[in-house]
Every structure is written in structure tokens, then in C-alpha cells.
Amino acid sequence: MHYVVTGACGFIGANLVKGLNERGISDIIAVDNLTQADKFRNLTDCDIADYLDKSEFLELVESGQLEGGIEAILHEGACSDTMETDGRYMMANNYCYSLALLDFCQEQEIPLLYASSASVYGGGSIFSEDREFEAPLNVYGYSKFLFDQIVRRRLTSADSQIAGFRYFNVYGPREQHKGRMASVAFHHFNQYQASGKVKLFEGHGGYADGEQRRDFVYVGDVVKVNMEFLESRVSGIYNLGTGRAQSFNELAAATVNACRALEGKAAQSVAELVAQGIIEYIPFPDALKGKYQSFTEADLSHLRGAGYRDAFAAVETGVADYVKWLAK
């Protein structure tokens, strides 16, 4: 029996493959689309049983050739570009693909753990897994939102586990291939290495410079939650963040100070870094106005109610670990 990880060469998918390996599991079918070939690097330190292209995998699913051979599917494969404007492409990749796997997993009575997104909440200020708080601002968010609605309808009669995780702002190792869609921590590290400065947006929508706040969650914590649910077989749709919003200023300071620590230099406050020009503010982009979440903070009530008890890393801890990985 094999575990399937879709999006296995991507950021969270590759970390899940590594997480399975660390638990002694290597009978893994890695599924992805390697049109962007450099993503293969994310799996070079992982052990898998086979690799399948996404289209080949879907053909096997739909033809019934994988029946009886799969232990569980961890579905991370998706188009995650929030600026993508081709709605047909987005819905095919994120909604239709997910629906085919949901049907397969229910027919085979095997667990489906899948990636949802905090983008389903749009510009709202309440981040609780209830329909009344969901209003996505872009087609990416809508594709995740719509699949969650299908899952909700099926949960009451499901024959096997269905667990969706609404990821907040995930950062950490194995995201270098994402380019502009990589985390802010990744970009801050590279900006600091190149110029000794990091750039943040000026204030917008009632927020002061760099004070927009997000729930930044370390990818190691994302893996831990997925692994625990894989064992518990609990179903539902859950927020996966830290439950604590932190400002972009705090994230920038954490990144700079982690870099400074590697240089043998003392940590500095946000005010000190701004005064020295190490944190620099740039105009808020017109293209993001009305499409930007200035505040996110996961309500973890349902996740805790499902039995997950571990603490989540604050940016000061998670970013320090990440910077050490990036600096290797």
C-alpha cells in the first residue's frame, strides 16, 4: 500500500514527503507537474517509491488502476498564484482535480487530507470555519472555497476521513522555486543578503507602515498537524495557523536579526532597524488594493477541539530556524 502526495515537488508537499520519511514511511507515490523542472530539488533528500506526472496520475485514478493500492492521499497539488486571472485554469487545477480525488478516496474508503486556504475568508476580520465569514477576494480563494463547500456537504455521510486545512501564511524550507509567490521571510532573507536591507509596504487601509498583520505559520508545524491527523483519522475543515497575528515589521526584524546572529551581531528592535534604513518602506501597490488581506489570525478552536495540542512557533523562533536552513 502506498501513500500519495500530490504537489510533492512543491513547498508543503515536499515537506510532507520528508515528514513521512521521518516516520519511517517511504512507500510514497510523488505526484506533480514538473514543467517547472527545478522543483525536483525539493525531493533529492527524500525517499519515494515512484513519481507520476499529474495527468498520468489522474488517468490512473479515473481508469480504476489504483484501486486497492493506496493507503491515503495527501493532496497539496494546486495553482497557488493569488494573482492568476485565468479562472478556467484555476478551477481545473484546484477544484476539478480535488473533486476527482475526493470521489476516488470515498469510493476506496481511504483518507483524503487536503490543502485549503485562509484566502477563503477574503477581507474579513473573523477567521472561524463558518460559512458566514467566507468571502474570497480572488479566483484562487474561490476555487478553495468551492471545494470546501462540497466537502461540507459530504462529511455527514463520508465513509472515510476527509480533513481540509486552511493554511494561513506558511513559510519555511523548500519554497525557493515559488519565485514571487514565496513567503515574505524568504524574500526578506534574500533582500538582506543582497543589499543589507528589507522592504515592506507602506501603510494602507488604516494600518501604519509595515503594521499589516498576518498569521505566519512555520511549515514544520504544518507537517506536524498533517501527520497527527493522518494517525487520528479525524475529519473536518480546520484553520492551520498559529492563532497569533504578527506584523510584517516583526517578521522583518526576526529575519534580519537571525541573519545578524549568524554574523555575530546583536539583535536590534524594529525602531532601530528603521532608523538605520535596514527596514525600508515602499508604496503599497495599486494592483493589490481591494485584493489584499491586511489582517489574518486563525481561530484555532476547532483544531484544538479535534485534539491537536502542540504549540506553534512564533516568527522569532520559526524564522531563526529557517534562516539557518537558507544560509547552508
Measured distance CA(81)–CA(38) in Å, rounded: 18
H/E element, 125: none
Residue 275 identity: A
Q: Tell me which residue of 162, 83, 166, 164 sits closest to 127, measured CA to CA.
A: 166
Q: Which entry of 54, 178, 197, 199 is annotated as an active-site residue? A: 178
Choose the catalytic residue: 3, 140, 171, 308. Answer: 140
Q: What is the dihedral of CA 130, 133, 138, 139, to 10 degrees?
A: 30
Q: Is 289 one of the catalytic residues?
A: no
Residues contacting residue 314 through CB under 8 Å, at least 6 positions apart: 242, 244, 246
DSSP β-ladder status, 28-32 and 2-6 = parallel
**Cell triple for 16:** 510532507
What angle do helix axes 54-63 and 97-108 make, rounded to 10 degrees?
40
140 belongs to the catalytic site: yes
The four Cα atoms 217, 138, 91, 120 give a dihedral, to 10 degrees, of 50
CB of 70 within 8 A of CB of 92? no
- CA dihedral sign of residues 108, 308, 156, 166: negative
Placement of cell 479566483 in the chain: 139
Write out the three cell numbers for 40: 525536483
Catalytic residues: 140, 178
